[in-house]
């Protein structure tokens, strides 16, 4: 395992690459475009992740959704992410076949047949063509009215499947809820690169926006086979820099190290992130940011929601909790290692801004 100082440097570089600190902080559409995909399993957490990367406020983020430049879908690992509208189509063609194949057994257990999927698609297209953007509840109600059973996660899986086949995605916002739209009407058509070019693009953009990271991190992030991972890395490597630690190659963007040199003090300072954030979910090995002895506090339940985090020196030092009543309550900071009063105050202030 890399030494503590090396782990810390890897963590600081990742903060820079992801645009949490430094010159890469940006408006929502730019931040998402650079990251390729940004973890957004929880809608509110996705908003907070963009606030942590430079968005001026929730209104700016949701205006980006309303404009159709950023959408929400399941492009990676069967998990909801924010993705640029111009990237969703080619990513789906590259990655969805593997996800759909892996879901076949679950569909069989749920009693979801090809005929049922066709019927669900017909109802969805009919509803969204007539009524326009609709909520998940509205689509589920339309399915139920047509005799399609949505209980026991069937409704969720039907929506997931129809995003994987290019029928649906989440677009504009109504009362703080992202609505479903017909992808081919909401997203402009864009060119689909050849498979080899697409793999290289995924790797290059991943390492530039997430590096330092390993090929194993990429494979886990995009759910690639061993062969596809190797092809992707081989195609991207000439455009990247490499750090070798204990015999392991970490790839990163060619300017990331220079960028850290200009903002190291900021990167080493107090950073506050939501629970479902790309900085923790974007890697197979997140120990540079989250040391093993603190992981259980951030992920207290195997399938539960992770705790939002406070970082100092690029590493998690505390968790935080939103107040029960946002208008009157205070953010609660729970240190995992000793922290100073000034760090606690800074964490409270920053957490309040994204809570």
Is the preceding omega at residue 212 within 30 degrees of 0, hence cis?
A: yes
pLDDT digits (tens, 9 = 90+) for 308-347: 999 999 999 999 998 776 655 689 999 999 999 999 999 9
Q: Answer whether 0.85 is exceeded by the pTM.
A: yes
Yes or no: say if 206 and 218 are a contact pair by the CB < 8 Å rule.
Answer: yes
Q: Where are the domains of the chain?
A: 111-186
Mean pLDDT score of the chain: 94
pLDDT digits (tens, 9 = 90+) for 220-250: 999 999 999 999 999 999 999 999 999 999 9
Burial annotation 214-231 (CB, 10 A radius, 16+ → b, else e): bbebbbbbbbbeeebbeb
Beta strands in the chain (DSSP E): 37-39, 70-76, 79-84, 168-174, 177-182, 241-245, 248-252, 270-273, 309-312, 315-321, 332-335
Write the CATH number of the domain with boundaries 111-186. Answer: 1.10.10.10
Beta strands in 122-262 (DSSP E): 168-174, 177-182, 241-245, 248-252
Q: Across the beta sheet with 70-76, what order do the strands follow?
A: 37-39, 79-84, 70-76, 168-174, 177-182
Yes or no: say if 234 and 36 are a contact pair by the CB < 8 Å rule.
Answer: no
């Amino acid at each position: 395992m890399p030494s503590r100082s090396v782990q810390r440097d890897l963590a600081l570089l990742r903060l820079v690459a992801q645009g949490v600190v430094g010159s890469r902080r940006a408006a929502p559409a730019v931040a998402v475009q650079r990251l390729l995909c940004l973890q957004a399993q929880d809608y509110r957490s996705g908003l907070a992740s963009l606030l942590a990367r430079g968005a001026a406020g929730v209104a700016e983020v949701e205006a980006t959704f309303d404009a159709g430049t950023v959408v929400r879908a399941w492009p990676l690992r069967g998990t909801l992410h924010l993705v640029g509208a111009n990237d969703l189509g080619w990513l789906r063609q590259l990655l969805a076949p593997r996800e759909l194949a892996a879901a076949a057994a679950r569909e069989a257990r749920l009693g979801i047949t090809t005929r049922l999927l066709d019927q669900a698609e017909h109802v969805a297209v009919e509803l969204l063509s007539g009524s326009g953007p609709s909520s998940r509840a509205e689509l589920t109600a339309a399915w139920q009215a047509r005799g399609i059973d949505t209980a026991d996660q069937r409704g969720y899986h039907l929506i997931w499947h129809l995003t994987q086949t290019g029928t649906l995605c989440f677009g504009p916002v109504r009362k703080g809820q992202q609505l479903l739209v017909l992808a081919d009407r909401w997203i402009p058509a864009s060119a689909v690169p050849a498979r080899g070019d697409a793999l290289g693009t995924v790797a290059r953009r991943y390492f530039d926006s997430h590096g330092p990271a390993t090929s194993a991190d990429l494979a886990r992030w995009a759910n690639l086979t061993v062969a596809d991972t190797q092809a992707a890395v081989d195609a991207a490597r000439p455009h990247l820099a490499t750090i070798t630690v204990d015999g392991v190659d970490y790839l990163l963007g060619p300017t990331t190290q220079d960028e850290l040199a200009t903002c190291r003090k900021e990167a080493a300072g107090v950073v506050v992130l939501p629970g479902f954030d790309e900085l923790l979910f974007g890697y197979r090995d997140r120990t540079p940011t989250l040391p093993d002895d603190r992981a259980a506090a951030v992920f207290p339940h195997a399938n539960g929601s992770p705790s939002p985090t406070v970082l100092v020196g690029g590493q998690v030092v505390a968790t935080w909790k939103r107040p029960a009543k946002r208008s009157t309550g205070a953010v609660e900071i729970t240190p995992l290692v000793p922290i100073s009063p000034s760090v606690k105050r800074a964490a409270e202030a920053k957490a309040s801004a994204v809570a």
